[in-house]
Structure 1
């Protein structure tokens, strides 16, 4: 916890891999689940990473989820870059909601487009998918590069079969191969009004969704454990299932619930 009352956590798989191990860690109400993959399937390293900041008083969460390729150097670079801008980001998160979203997007894109960052990317091996997510009040914002997934579960949305919020996009990365080296950088960005009641936010790297002999490509299957178990227990059960299916690659999950008191938008009568 920082002096400003913000709970902070960061991790990269090159420092602690969790190969053959399931780890459940809680940052206040946010649950982080990690499984480094099965050694018997050939796994020997973990290239995922994350940043999680929580401010209960100011009512926000800021998360970065990373899924790197070849080495974890690109995840390390992204984490160190934005942790170095911690004070600027926290100042942004203290602004009004609409100002926060606009300013945070501008900071991230300006950083990735900067010459010094692009040069730093050329001095590392590999590249990473990046998913930035901020929840403040009753609104959700994200910026997505690559194929990490962001889900939102709420009964009103699930009744309409709406779960996944971002567009998983392949062949997009930050790092040695870098979307920001293109004449037109490629990424997606979005915003969502949360519904009244309990909203479940869930981020995952791709191996959960793509694990053989499971149905986790169907979002409803991901959320089934949460119907009867706690957040921690449900994340653990998901990871135990893919471990049992002998998945090779690492999986990182970030899951939390937000209670919204005000009504969401409805169509006119």
Structure 2
């Protein structure tokens, strides 16, 4: 069995302020930009993680947007890595329905565990985070806070459907922790992809809250990603927000998936 491709990063390792960086891991493009020092940026508190297995046919990605310090981003990324064995076992299931059901239950149980809650109490600051997994013609997401998942496909675009999850501004994991509440607040779900090429795009909020809002319409993001390569598209996105003097950190993960199965259609 081919080894799972794994990579992760948190902004305190390297901040990429004034220096956007884009690269690819297999078919997945990753972009990191700390923002502009001229706009007052001094640190990068984002984080991300990418796992994939080409033979088993799945990808798993996380983007994290922390504030106050990067400690909560480090905690979330490290905690997921500590639970690698059980998560990889779930991703290996041939039954995609079982995979997503088990993944949903496992992520909720991990974030609600007493061990994780105690560790959250000791960090400075808190974070939004978005977890996304794709297998076969389905994408699963688990969202706390205001990071965003877009899925771009012409069928969706024709109906102005781009954004998968809704941004939530009063949810976090860390010192202030939704999973420490009597009833935790989060969103999760599964989306069926369409026949043909689908582009999955995860991002922290820097690109959305950039001055002059150059990408306030998701169709403009989709257009940039239609260049010769996803790396070139992400570089264009970063160059645009750099010119608009963005301050916020921006972390992007994007990849294309070709689906052979027809998606659901209305009855005639």
Normalised by the length of structure 1, the TM-score is 0.97
Q: Give, in angstroms, the shift of residue 228 of structure 1.
A: 3.5
CA contact (8 A) 2:44 2:70 kept: yes
**What residue number does 1:110 align with?**
109
**What residue number does 2:223 align with?**
224
**What residue number does 1:151 align with?**
150
Q: Deviations over 1:161-205 (max 9, x none)?
A: 100001111110000000011111000011111000000100110
Q: Give, in angstroms, the shift of residue 115 of structure 1.
A: 1.2
Q: Deviations over 1:195-224 (max 9, x none)?
A: 000001001101101111133121011111
Structure 1: distance between partners of 2:209 and 2:39 = 15
Q: Give, in angstroms, the shift of residue 227 of structure 1.
A: 2.8
**What residue number does 2:132 align with?**
133
Q: Give, in angstroms, the shift of residue 143 of structure 1.
A: 0.5
**What residue number does 1:94 align with?**
92
Q: After the TM superposition, which parts of structure 1 deviate over 4 Å for at least 4 consecutive aligned residues? A: none
Q: Give, in angstroms, the shift of residue 105 of structure 1.
A: 1.2
Moved more, 106-115 or 135-144: 106-115
Q: Give, in angstroms, the shift of residue 4 of structure 1.
A: 4.3
Structure 1: distance between partners of 2:228 and 2:246 = 23
Q: Deviations over 1:74-101 (max 9, x none)?
A: 0100111110111110000011211111
**What residue number does 1:30 align with?**
28
State the SS of the aligned residue for 1:206.
coil
Structure 2: distance between partners of 1:90 and 1:200 = 23
Structure 1: distance between partners of 2:96 and 2:116 = 28
**What residue number does 1:201 align with?**
200
**What residue number does 2:12 align with?**
14
Structure 2: distance between partners of 1:234 and 1:228 = 6
**What residue number does 1:43 align with?**
41
**What residue number does 1:261 align with?**
260
**What residue number does 1:163 align with?**
162
1:77 aligns with one of 70, 75, 78:
75
Structure 1: distance between partners of 2:257 and 2:209 = 27
State the SS of the aligned residue for 2:151.
strand
**What residue number does 1:235 align with?**
234
State the SS of the aligned residue for 1:210.
coil
What is the RMSD computed on CA atoms of the aligned residues? Answer: 1.0
CA contact (8 A) 2:37 2:247 kept: yes
Structure 1: distance between partners of 2:80 and 2:54 = 21
Moved more, 139-148 or 229-238: 229-238
The alignment of Structure 1 onto Structure 2 pairs a total of residues equal to: 267
Normalised by the length of structure 2, the TM-score is 0.97
CA contact (8 A) 1:27 1:54 kept: no
Q: Which runs of 5+ in 2 are unaligned?
A: none
Structure 1: distance between partners of 2:182 and 2:217 = 35
